[in-house]
Amino acid sequence: MLLLLRFDSKVVKQPIITKAAIDTNTLINIIKASVGARHGELIVEVEDSKVKAVEEVFESYGVEVQELDKAIAKDDEKCVHCGLCISICPVEVFKVEDHKIVAETSRCIHCGVCVNVCPTKALSLPII
C-alpha cells in the first residue's frame, strides 16, 4: 500500500521514517520525497498487513497520512499509443496488447514520470 505523508517544520527535522519502521517492525520504502526546511511530502510503500499500525505511528508524530488507492489514469481518447510511457516507467505499468498501450494500474507507484513525458497529456495522477 502506498501512503502519502505530509508534515510541517516541527516534524521535518525528525527521523520519522526510522522511528515508524522501528516502532512497527516494518520495512518502509520511500518512493518519492520532497522535503524542505518548512514542510515535507513523501510517498512511501508499506506492506498491506502493517498499514494501520504504521499510519497510527506517523499520526502520533504529527504527520498527516493519506492512503493512495487510486493510480495512474489513461485517457484513451488522447492516447496515440506511441509507447513512450513503456520506455520511461520504472515499474512496468504499461504494456502493449493488440497494438494498443494498456496500463496495469495496480503496479503504479505515483512517481509521475510518465505523466511528464506523455506528448498528448493522456496520462494523469489523481489530485491529492
For residue 122, report the phi and psi dihedrals to the nearest 5 degrees.
Answer: -85, -10
pLDDT at 18: 93
Structural domains for the chain: 2-68 (3.30.70.260), 73-124 (3.30.70.20)
Q: Which of 10-19, 25-34, 82-91, 97-106 shows the lowest per-residue confidence on average (mean pLDDT)?
A: 10-19
pLDDT at 28: 96
Tell me the three cell numbers of residue 62: 504529527
82-112: buried (b, 16+ CB within 10 Å) or exposed (e) per residue? eebbeeebeeebbeeeeeebebeeeebbbbe
Tell me the three cell numbers of residue 63: 504527520
Tell me the three cell numbers of residue 48: 498491506
Give tens-digit pLDDT for 51-108.
999 999 999 999 999 998 777 899 999 999 999 999 999 999 999 999 999 999 888 8
The whole-number average pLDDT for the span 14-34 is 91
Q: Map residue 50 onto helix, strand or coil.
A: helix
